[in-house]
Amino acid sequence: MADPPKPPRARYEARRNAVVDAAAAVFARKGFHATSVDDLVEATGLQRGGLYYYMKGKQDLLIRIHERFIEPLLENAREIAARHEPPEVELRLLVHALMQDIAEYRDAVTVFLHEWRIIADGPEWKEVRRARREFEDLFAGCIRRGTDSGVFRELDQRTTMRGIVGMVNSTYQWMDVRGARTPAALADAYADIVLYGIVAPRASASAARKKAAGGTGERRVAPRRKAPARRSPG
């Protein structure tokens, strides 16, 4: 028995998602500025008029591309937070959610992380930032709960959150979803690094920190002047 036809709004959204995915693939391959409207027409199979039915312009596509991967990520993160799992379990689940999102929407993630500055000064950026802030707050909230309950040591929660998210985000550059390491295996590897570190239990963490800081009598080198901070999409 055939499935019932989708209502008009659902058909429109499904077709728009297909257009956004096709555009993301072209942008990821050629770059945003090098992609012409003719390239998008060819990739989507639409005429120019049909293409503009689903977008206002190339910059509008960047907003839609961000929505394409941030909305399912937020939905998963909210559901994870609502479970009230132990903090170490919740952190692992959030890492899995982010890694799976990158694997599933890799073109969209690639394009946004490369091209977000194009839309950073536009009126739509407020909504982009709100969505990203919500995910960051959910992640930081997990770390805060872990610290408050004594499961995690005292940490700068937002710095820790940014470090973990940045580490996972970087996998879009090299992840091979058809390789031996699945997104789930990579997520577990990263979660293990975060939760357990990389120093073997028999090693002295304090001795390692002391040596790294020059506490063994070696002459310490004065730090260089800090370069101006680079703006990030967060």
Q: Phi and psi of 154, rounded to 5°?
A: -65, 125
How does residue 220 score in pLDDT terms, banded at 50, 70 and 90?
very low
pTM of the model: 0.81
- Residue 79, pLDDT > 60, answer yes
- Residue 231: inside a domain, yes or no? no
Between the CA atoms of 164, 166, 172 and 173, what dihedral angle is there, to the nearest 10 degrees?
A: -120
CATH code at position 151 = 1.10.357.10
d(CA 80, CA 139): 10
Could you tell me what percentage of the chain is helix, strand and coil, using 3-state DSSP and rounding each to the nearest 5? 70, 0, 30
- Residue 107: inside a domain, yes or no? yes
- Residue 140: inside a domain, yes or no? yes
In tens, the pLDDT along 158-171 reads 999 999 999 999 99
- Residue 146: inside a domain, yes or no? yes
In tens, the pLDDT along 11-66 reads 889 999 999 999 999 999 999 999 999 999 999 999 988 888 998 888 899 999 99
- Residue 54: inside a domain, yes or no? no
Give residue 146's domain range. 59-200
In tens, the pLDDT along 163-195 reads 999 999 999 999 987 778 899 999 999 999 999
- Residue 14: inside a domain, yes or no? no
Domain count, the chain: 1
d(CA 112, CA 232): 12
- Residue 29: inside a domain, yes or no? no
Alpha helices by DSSP H, listed for 31-124, are 37-44, 48-54, 58-83, 87-104, 106-115
Assigned token pair, 24: 């993301």
- Residue 99: inside a domain, yes or no? yes
